[in-house]
């Protein structure tokens, strides 16, 4: 069967083609808009500068704390600073790859209990407040760290 250029079937095919092209464009545009309007948790925490401040404040807090300082008495400060920053960066979807030991390996044998863990979380919250991290971003980070507790305490 031969169709003339304006046969209804050809028009239909062109219409369907245009419809799908428009749909594709709309979908890709909305994907762009939603990813552009949604900063990563890393960005919400202030990016590299924000995490540096949080870790620095946390280290100060630990250094001044009677309950948990003893755990860190023999730790290498520069290694801890670098690796904790890297870890928080990866956990918050930042552009880093954590290169330290697993949470389980590093904390096993320290005999950390639940109260110690909760206390470090309090010191972290205080550090995030001092570093002006927004509360919503703080809560998101804490929610991502919480499941790690099973690898950190009672080990
Ligand atoms: C969500 C909570 C925690 C996270 C994300 C975390 C993360 C880390 C990271 C990334 C390191 C560096 C790993 C490495 O050196 O390869 C580290 C080291 C360490 N962590 Fe934790 N930690 C947490 C909780 C705790 C708690 C509750 C304590 C003790 C009360 C603790 C005590 C230590 C100590 C003492 C070191 C240094 C070990 C060393 O260098 O010999 N951590 N932690």
Structure token digits, residue 31: 């994907």
Per-residue HEC secondary structure of 15-47 comes to HHHHHHHHHHHHHHHHHHHHHHHCCCHHHHCCH
For residue 104, report the distance from its CA to the centre of ligand 1, in Å.
10
% of the chain exceeding 70 in pLDDT? 77
For residue 110, report the distance from its CA to the centre of ligand 1, in Å.
10
For residue 58, report the distance from its CA to the centre of ligand 1, in Å.
12
**Domain co-membership, 132 together with 57:** yes
12-59 tens-digit pLDDT = 666 665 756 665 555 555 554 555 679 999 999 999 999 999 999 999
pLDDT of residue 2 exceeding 50:
no
Hey, which of 62, 67, 80 would you mutate to test ligand 1's pocket, going by the most ligand atoms within 8 Å of its Cβ? 80
Its pTM stands at 0.82
**Domain co-membership, 30 together with 89:** no
Hey, which of 68, 104, 107 would you mutate to test ligand 1's pocket, going by the most ligand atoms within 8 Å of its Cβ? 107
- Number of the ligand 1 atom closest to the C-alpha atom of 101: 16
Q: Which residue's C-alpha comes closest to atom 2 of ligand 1?
A: 145
- Number of the ligand 1 atom closest to the C-alpha atom of 98: 10
Contacts (Cβ under 8 Å, ≥6 apart) of 149 = 114, 117
**Domain co-membership, 132 together with 72:** yes
For residue 144, report the distance from its CA to the centre of ligand 1, in Å.
15
- Domain span at 77: 41-152
Q: Which residue's C-alpha comes closest to atom 7 of ligand 1?
A: 84
Domains contained in the chain, number: 2
**Domain co-membership, 51 together with 27:** no
Provide the angle, in degrees to the nearest 10, between the axes of the packed helices 114-130 and 135-145.
150
DSSP string, 91-138: HTT-S----S--HHHHHTTS---HHHHHHHHHHHHHHHHHTT--HHHH
Q: Which residue would you say has higher pLDDT here, 130 or 1?
A: 130
**Neighbouring C-beta atoms of residue 62, cutoff 10 Å:** 21
Q: Is the dihedral of CA 125, 81, 117, 94 positive or negative?
A: positive
**Domain co-membership, 79 together with 131:** yes
**Domain co-membership, 102 together with 113:** yes
pLDDT of residue 72 exceeding 90:
yes
Contacts (Cβ under 8 Å, ≥6 apart) of 112 = 71, 152, 153, 154, 155
């Amino acid at each position: 069967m031969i169709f003339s250029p304006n046969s209804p079937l050809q028009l239909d095919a062109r219409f369907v083609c245009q419809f799908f092209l428009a749909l594709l464009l709309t979908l890709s545009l909305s994907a762009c808009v939603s990813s552009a309007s949604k900063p990563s948790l890393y960005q919400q925490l202030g990016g590299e500068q924000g995490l540096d401040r949080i870790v620095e404040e946390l280290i100060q807090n630990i250094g001044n704390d009677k309950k948990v300082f003893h755990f860190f008495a023999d730790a290498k400060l520069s290694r801890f600073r670098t690796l904790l920053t890297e870890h928080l960066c990866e956990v918050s979807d930042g552009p880093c790859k954590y290169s330290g030991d697993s949470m389980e390996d590093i904390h096993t044998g320290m005999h950390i209990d639940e109260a110690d863990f909760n206390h470090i979380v309090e010191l972290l919250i205080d550090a995030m407040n001092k570093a002006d991290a927004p509360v919503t971003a703080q809560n998101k980070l804490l929610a991502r760290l919480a499941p790690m507790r099973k690898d950190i305490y009672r080990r």
